[in-house]
Amino acid sequence: MTSPVMNRPRAERVLAEAGVDIVIASTYENVFYFSGYEGFVQRVTPATQVYAVLRADLSEAMLVAPLGDLDMQAQFPAALASVRPYGKRMVIEHSGEPLEEEAARYALLAALDPSDSPTVALLDVLASLPADSRIALDERGLSAATRDALLAGYGERIVAGAAVLDTIRMVKTPEEVRRLEAAALTIESSYETAIEMAAEGVSEAELASAFDLNTVARGSRPHFTVLAFGERGALPNAVPSAARRLRHGDTIRFDIGCKTEHYSSDIARTAVFGELSEKVSRYYDGILAGEQAMIDVMRPGVAAKEVFAAAVEATREAGIPHYRRHHVGHGVGLDTYDPPLLDETTETRLEAGMVFEVETPYYELGFGGLQVEDTVLITEDGCRLLTRSARELRVIDPAAAAR
C-alpha cells in the first residue's frame, strides 16, 4: 500500500476524470498523503523541495528528497518504489559495530548517489515514465526553477494539480477519521486541564502552558493556542499574555488545536469566571443556536453555502440580530483548513466522509469574544459530532476555583 491514509478509490476516480497519468505531490501534507513518507526538513523549512511521484494507478511512489532527510525513511519506512536524493552528503561516522535495523536502513539510503539539485532529481524520475503522460503538478510546493524546467520539458502535458489533489483529500478514509477524532479528544482533554486551573489572578500564559503540556503528554503536538480573557477575546488570534490575569466577570475564549498522527484539530469553547452578564448569556445563546443550525442541516447533497445561510440566520434570530461572518467553518484533515470552506458562495456539496470544523464566533472590541467550534463528520444520512465536551457556556464559580 502506498499510504496508510489515502482514499485510493476516490483518488483513482478523480484522476481518471481529470485525464491524469502521473501525480507530482510537492507540499509536506500531499507528499505524506500520497506516499506515506514522513519527512522532517520540509516540515520545519517549508521552502525545502520534496516530491512524491506516482502513476495514476497509485502504485508505490517515487520519492525525491534531500539526502540529509532520509533518516526519516529509516525510522518510519514508507512503501517507496525508488528514492532519488539530492544535495550534499551529511557526515555520519560508522563505529564498525553491527548495525541495528534503523541504522542499517539509513546506511543504505545514505550511500545513494545524490543529484546536484531537486530539479535534476525530479526530471530524472520523470524521464523513466511514459513520455506521453499527462502530469498533475502540485504547484504549491514548487520552486520557480523547478516549475520553469518542468514547463520547458513537458509543456502542455502539465495540468495544475493542487485543486485535483484537494478534491481527492476532501473525503476522508476511516483511518483519517480515527486520527481526526483522536486529535479532537486530545484537545478537549487539554481544555479541561486548563479550565481546572482557572482562578483569580492566573494569567492567560499560565493557562496556555498547562494546556500545551497536557497536549504533549497525550502524544500530540500543540498547533495553535488562542486563549484570551475578557476584552482580549475580541482579538481573533489573541496570543496568551503573561500580563493579563483572570478577574471576576471575565469571559475566557479558547480557540485551540493540535496535531495527532499528522491530523489537525480545531475547536473552540467559552467560559465565564464569576458573574454572567445578560449580554454574554444572550449572545452566546445566539452563536450556539447558529452552530446547532449547521449541525441540523449538514448531510450529503447540501451545498456549503446553504450551511452558511442556516448558521447566520439562526444566530441572528436567537440573539445577535446584527451578526455577520465571512465563513462559518471549513474542512479539516492534514491541513487545519481543508476545502471546502463553509461560506456564502461555495457551491461544493457535502459528501459522506467529509469532516468539518463548524463555528459561529463573535468578536466585539471593548466587549470581548465568544466562540463555540466543533468537529463534524458527514455520514451517509446526516452527520455526527467527533467532539464530546459540552458546548454550552461554562460558568466557573470563583469560590469553588479558589479551593
User: Is beta strand 263-264 parallel, antiparallel or unpaired with respect to 251-260?
Assistant: antiparallel
Report pLDDT for 3. Answer: 85
Residue 34 has pLDDT above 80, yes or no: yes
CA nearest 296: which of 385, 207, 380, 185? 385
Distances (CA, A) of 332 to 105, 170, 184, 223, 287: 34, 8, 11, 13, 21
Whether the predicted pLDDT of 249 surpasses 80? yes
Task: Tell me: pLDDT of 199 over 90.
Answer: yes
- Between the CA of residue 381 and those of 8, 309, 356, what are the distances in Å? 23, 21, 16
At 149-179, the pLDDT tens digits run 999 999 989 999 999 999 999 999 999 999 9
pLDDT at 376 over 60: yes
Cα 172-174-180 angle, rounded to 5 deg: 70
Distance, in Å, from the CA atom of 266 to the CA atom of 183, rounded to the nearest integer, reads 9
Evaluate if residue 403 carries a pLDDT over 80.
no
Show contacts of 38-47: CB within 8 Å, 24+ apart. Answer: 38/72, 38/75, 38/76, 38/78, 38/262, 39/65, 39/69, 39/72, 40/69, 40/72, 41/66, 41/68, 41/69, 42/69, 42/141, 46/141, 47/143
10 and 39 Cβ atoms separated by less than 8 Å: no
How confident is the model over 8-20, as a mean pLDDT?
95
The reported pLDDT for the residue numbered 94 is: 85
Please name every residue paired with 303 in a beta bridge, in sequence order, or none if there are none: 349
Cβ 67 vs Cβ 85: under 8 Å: yes
Q: Is the bond leading into 340 cis (omega within 30 degrees of zero)?
A: yes
Residue 163: count other Cβ atoms within 10 Å of its Cβ: 13
Q: What is the pLDDT of residue 131?
A: 85
Contacts of 127 (CB under 8 A, 6+ apart): none
pLDDT digits (tens, 9 = 90+) for 283-340: 999 999 999 999 999 999 999 999 999 999 999 999 999 999 999 999 999 999 999 9
**Strand pairing category for 22-25 and 135-137:** parallel
Cell of 231: 476584552
Domains of the chain: 8-169 (3.40.350.10), 174-402 (3.90.230.10)
Q: β-strand 80-86 against 61-66: which pairing, if any?
A: parallel
Q: Which residues pair with 253 in a beta bridge?
A: 228, 270
Band (206; pLDDT cuts 50, 70, 90): very high
- Which tens digits make up the pLDDT trace of 262-282? 999 999 999 999 999 999 999
Categorize the per-residue pLDDT at 1 as very low, low, confident or very high, splitting at 50, 70 and 90. low
pLDDT > 70 fraction of the chain, expressed in percent and rounded:
99
* Nine-digit cell string for 237: 488570534
Question: Given this model, what pLDDT does residue 120 score?
Answer: 97
**Tens of pLDDT, residues 46-102:** 899 999 999 988 888 999 999 999 999 999 999 999 999 999 888 888 888 888 999
List of residues 6+ apart from 175 with CB closer than 8 A: 4, 5
Half-sphere exposure for 288 (CA within 13 Å, toward CB): 13
Residue 337: how many CB atoms within 10 A of its CB? Answer: 14
Q: Which helix (H) or strand (E) holds 103?
A: helix 101-110
For the segment 324-371, what is each residue's pLDDT rounded down to a tens digit?
999 999 999 999 999 999 999 999 999 999 999 999 999 999 999 999
Determine the Cα–Cα distance for residues 201 and 261; give it in Å rounded to an integer. Answer: 36
Mean pLDDT value across the chain: 95
CB atoms within 10 A of CB 168: 22
